[in-house]
């Protein structure tokens, strides 16, 4: 059996929203240690890697490894009116292939939804090394993204030992931003080698906006013209990470 209780249903709803920016259906792999999910978006441009250990749940039971495939849009629709402070119980009825959701607040609400047939394909962890890492408050990263979206569909990150430069431009306008640890904009800046890469803002913007609702701290890691790793720090050593392929600009 699988049963888990989330102390605040809004936290789970925000996590689902963050995952659903890339995929509509997801395989949640549950074990006695916790819950994991790793999936590519349909175009294979981006990937989401999510992990919540059992300690992040208020209650957690799983007597055997189980894959539960869910339609995220459907679950979010059921939970859209859940409020902060209301607890959420998720229980898998293996015999009937359904998930039972119980929201406990002033009103006790019970929802049931069908599961889908799990996909056998396993998505491996990307084997990447990064030369630049910048950690900042999620709101700072969100502001950078929103400012860049006012002028372009793409965003460029350039990092050296002293600073992180962010650039976005179009035929009519451009924006340049500079972040330095000494100015308080960055919590951490680690650069092994000067790096620069450009990414699509449609993807990155959706990731950052959804992910920033789940965590106050975010980090980006990248190397020149290589995929980016975007991570949001979670409770109890949980993780929410995205990988995004770069946009290679013509010389």
- What's the average model confidence in pLDDT over 5-24? 94
Where helices occur in the chain by DSSP H, the ranges are 9-20, 72-79, 138-149, 201-211
pLDDT digits (tens, 9 = 90+) for 154-175: 999 999 999 999 999 999 999 9
Least reliable range by pLDDT among 123-127, 133-137, 202-206: 123-127
Helices (H), 185-229: 201-211
Q: What distance in Å separates the CA atoms of residue 133 and residue 148, rounded to the nearest whole number?
A: 20
- Tell whether 249 is covered by a domain: no
DSSP state of 22: T
The residue out of 54, 85, 114 marking a domain boundary is 114
CA distance 242 to 222: 12
Domain carrying residue 202: 132-244
> Count of domains in the chain?
2
Q: Residue 123: exposed, middle, or buried by beta-carbon count in 10 A (0-12, 13-18, 19+)?
A: middle
Q: Say yes or no to pLDDT of 234 above 90.
A: no
Q: What is the pLDDT of residue 251?
A: 44
**This model's pTM is above 0.95:** no
d(CA 29, CA 65): 7
CB 19, CB 72: distance < 8 Å:
yes
Q: Does residue 49 share a domain with residue 19?
A: yes
In the listed set 83, 114, 145, which residue is the last one of a domain according to the structure? 114
Alpha-carbon distance of 161 to 74, in angstroms, equals 46
Domain stops at, among 54, 79, 114: 114
Residue 120 has pLDDT above 80, yes or no: no
Pair (33, 93) in one structural domain: yes
For residue 102, CA distances in Å to 111, 112, 166 come to 6, 9, 44
**Is residue 36 assigned to a domain?**
yes
| pLDDT mean over 93-99 | 96
* CATH (domain of 138): 3.70.10.10
46 and 11 within one domain: yes
* Same domain? 224 vs 136: yes
Residue 249: predicted pLDDT: 66
Q: Is residue 125 part of a domain?
A: no
């Amino acid at each position: 059996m699988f049963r888990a209780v989330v102390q605040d249903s809004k936290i789970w709803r925000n996590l689902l929203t963050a995952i659903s920016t890339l995929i509509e259906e997801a395989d949640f792999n549950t074990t006695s240690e916790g819950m994991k999910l790793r999936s590519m978006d349909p175009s294979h441009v981006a990937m989401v890697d999510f992990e919540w250990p059992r300690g992040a749940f208020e209650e957690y039971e799983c007597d055997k490894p189980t894959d539960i495939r869910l339609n995220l849009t459907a679950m979010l629709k059921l939970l859209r009116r859940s409020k902060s402070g209301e607890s959420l119980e998720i229980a898998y009825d293996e015999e009937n292939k359904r998930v039972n959701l119980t929201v406990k607040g002033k009103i006790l609400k019970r929802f049931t939804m069908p599961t889908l047939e799990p996909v056998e394909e396993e998505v491996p962890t990307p084997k990447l090394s990064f030369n630049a890492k910048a950690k900042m408050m999620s709101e700072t990263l969100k502001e950078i993204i929103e400012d860049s979206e006012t002028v372009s569909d793409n965003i460029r990150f350039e990092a050296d030992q002293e600073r992180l430069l962010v650039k976005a431009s179009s035929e009519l306008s451009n924006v340049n931003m500079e972040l330095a640890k000494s100015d308080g904009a960055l919590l951490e800046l680690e650069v092994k080698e000067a790096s620069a890469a450009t990414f699509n803002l449609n993807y990155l913007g959706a990731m950052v906006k959804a992910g920033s609702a789940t965590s106050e701290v975010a980090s980006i890691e990248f190397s020149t013209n290589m995929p980016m790793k975007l991570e949001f720090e979670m409770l109890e050593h949980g993780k929410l990470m995205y990988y995004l392929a770069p946009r290679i600009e013509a010389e």
